[in-house]
């Protein structure tokens, strides 16, 4: 039996301009687009009331914490937060417990996502100093490398080990996703600050200073030039990184760059208000770094905006600086923050679509996603660009956001995944997400 849905009286972005249209969806696919509202009968219909339909967001960087840390988040709660925020597909990171560093652990995580995730999903494999053979065998498109220590125990900080991972990734056609902070630089600073007996969230940006990121990016670019593999810099946060990546992209292909909403919309001043709640790796940076990130967004040095959704419970964040974990939840606030930025003139709706869906699909070769086009999967979000609101109930298990009191203009109001209405009129509905397929 056909499962069909008609979105009538909507607008879509076509060749840079908004046009009025309707979208007919059948069995999870877009079947037709055009002036069809009075002609086609569907099982269900949504009157979009002249609001805009965009492709569902593909978040290339989330930590849904399952297995091992389900008290922080799991595939069900994390995917509900994603659907509410207009994110229809996610890539989960490997620093779970056990870490996703073996094919066996990957298959266990795959089964958990299949059972509980209500959005579409995929995974990044984890690199260690000695799991190159597992990297080659693993059925993923990306391998995550922690050049500097962060949450979890994954670390590849020696050049010879990094080279082996790059070679294994190249052999198996994977993209290396880099947490680019130099471990030696980090440990030197940590030792110095601990010796001084200091304990303040505001020093996090000094402990993990710009220099640590700058060194790691240059090292990775140098090795990429030697090996010839593809690399993707996660959560780029400093002016030095953006400059190095911009210059490298002029000379070579296969270099990609991601930024996060918290680095775009928060800076070091946020420590005064939120303390450890905005402790994150890499840390919040200074205003000049934030300006460099925005310049990178607008000159296309930046390829993707992803959340690095990394939830923790409030009581963990309330510990002293050295014991409080790093990470900020963000999967349900990314789109609202970006739509507000569109309304304030910081970027265009076209850029939002490119950075959150089109480019992620191109970089990782995701099949049938990120376009409002006949034959493509019906992963769609209806957004109300005039709606003003602050963040209400948080679906993530963390139950907090550093943006909770910020009034934003522009919100996702309907989320459709594989042709199914999953978020509508403030309500979430259960859905079976599908594992992403690749070209």
Q: What span, in angstroms and rounded, lies between the C-alpha atoms of 55 and 413? A: 13
Q: Which domain holds residue 10?
A: 4-53+372-385+409-428
Burial of 36 (0-12, 13-18, 19+ CB in 10 A): middle
Alpha carbon distances (Å) from 308 to 18, 218, 261: 31, 22, 9
Q: Are residues 134 and 261 in the same domain?
A: yes
Nearest alpha-carbon partner for 289 in 222, 228, 238, 356: 238
Residues 26 and 67 in one domain: no
Query: pTM higher than 0.75 for the full model?
Result: yes
Is 434 among the domain residues? no
**Quick one: 251 and 279 in the same domain?**
yes
* Per-residue model confidence (pLDDT) at position 215: 98
User: Alpha carbon of 188 to those of 194, 203, 207, 208, 214: distances in Å?
Assistant: 10, 14, 9, 10, 15
For residue 438, give the DSSP letter. B
Q: Are residues 314 and 415 in the same domain?
A: no
pLDDT value at residue 39: 63
**Segments in the chain below pLDDT 70:** 1, 37-39, 150-152
230 and 379, same domain (yes or no): no
Residues 9 and 72 in one domain: no
* Co-location of 154 and 263 in the same domain: yes
The pLDDT of residue 392 is 86
What pLDDT score does 257 carry?
A: 98
Tell me, yes or no, whether 394 lies in a domain: no
Q: How many residues are listed for the chain in this entry?
A: 439
401 lies in some domain: no
Residue 395 lies in a domain: no
Query: What is the per-residue pLDDT for 152?
Result: 62
Q: Is residue 350 part of a domain?
A: yes
The answer to whether 277 touches 402, Cβ cutoff 8 Å, is yes
Is residue 346 one of the residues assigned to a domain? yes
Which CATH number covers residue 30?
2.30.40.10
Q: Are residues 120 and 22 in the same domain?
A: no
CA distance 144 to 244: 20
Separation between Cα atoms, residue 156 and residue 198, nearest integer Å:
28
Active-site annotation, residues: 308
Say if residue 77 is in the same domain as residue 173: yes
Residue 327 placed within a domain: yes
Instruction: Assess whether 88 and 220 both reside in one domain.
Output: yes
H or E element, residue 91: strand 87-92
Q: Please tell me the total count of domains within the chain.
A: 2
Find out whether 273 and 202 touch, Cβ atoms under 8 Å: no
């Amino acid at each position: 039996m056909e499962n069909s849905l008609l979105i009538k009286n909507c607008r879509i972005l076509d060749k840079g301009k908004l046009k009025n249209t309707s979208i007919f969806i059948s069995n999870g696919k877009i079947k037709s687009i055009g002036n069809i509202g009075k002609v086609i009968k569907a099982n269900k219909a949504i009157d979009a009331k002249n609001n805009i339909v965009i492709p569902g967001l593909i978040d290339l960087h989330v930590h849904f914490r399952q297995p091992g840390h389900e008290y922080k988040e799991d595939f069900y709660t994390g995917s509900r937060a994603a659907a509410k925020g207009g994110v229809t597909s996610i890539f989960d990171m490997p620093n779970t417990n056990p870490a996703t560093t073996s094919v066996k652990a990957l298959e266990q995580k795959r089964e958990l996502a299949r059972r509980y995730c209500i959005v579409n999903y995929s995974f990044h494999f984890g690199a260690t100093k000695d799991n190159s053979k597992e990297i080659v065998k693993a059925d993923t498109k990306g391998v995550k490398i922690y050049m500097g220590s962060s949450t979890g125990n994954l670390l590849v900080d020696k050049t010879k080990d990094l080279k082996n991972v790059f070679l294994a990734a190249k052999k198996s056609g994977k993209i290396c996703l880099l947490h680019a902070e130099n471990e030696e630089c980090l440990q030197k600073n940590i030792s110095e600050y601990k010796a001084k007996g200091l304990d303040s969230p505001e020093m996090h940006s000094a402990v993990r200073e710009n220099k640590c990121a700058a060194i790691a990016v240059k090292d990775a670019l140098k090795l990429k030039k030697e090996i010839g593999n593809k690399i993707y810099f996660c959560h780029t946060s400093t002016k030095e990184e953006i400059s190095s990546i911009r210059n490298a992209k002029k000379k070579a292909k296969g270099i990609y760059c991601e930024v996060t909403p918290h680095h775009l919309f928060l800076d070091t001043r946020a420590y005064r208000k939120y303390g450890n709640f905005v402790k994150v790796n890499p840390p919040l940076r200074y205003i000049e770094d934030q300006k460099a990130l925005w310049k990178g967004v607008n000159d296309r040095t930046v390829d993707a905006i992803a959340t690095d959704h990394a939830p923790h419970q409030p009581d963990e964040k309330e510990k002293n600086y050295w014991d409080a974990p790093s990470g900020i939840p963000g999967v349900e606030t990314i789109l609202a923050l970006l739509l507000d930025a569109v309304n304030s003139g910081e970027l265009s709706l076209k850029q939002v679509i490119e950075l959150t869906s089109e480019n992620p699909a191109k970089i990782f070769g995701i099949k049938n996603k990120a376009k409002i086009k006949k034959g493509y999967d019906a992963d769609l979000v209806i957004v109300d660009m005039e709606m003003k609101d602050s963040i209400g109930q948080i679906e993530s298990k963390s139950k907090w956001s550093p943006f909770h009191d910020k009034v934003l203009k522009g919100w996702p109001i309907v989320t459709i995944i594989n042709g199914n209405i999953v978020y509508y009129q403030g309500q979430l509905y259960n859905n079976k997400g599908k594992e992403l397929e690749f070209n």
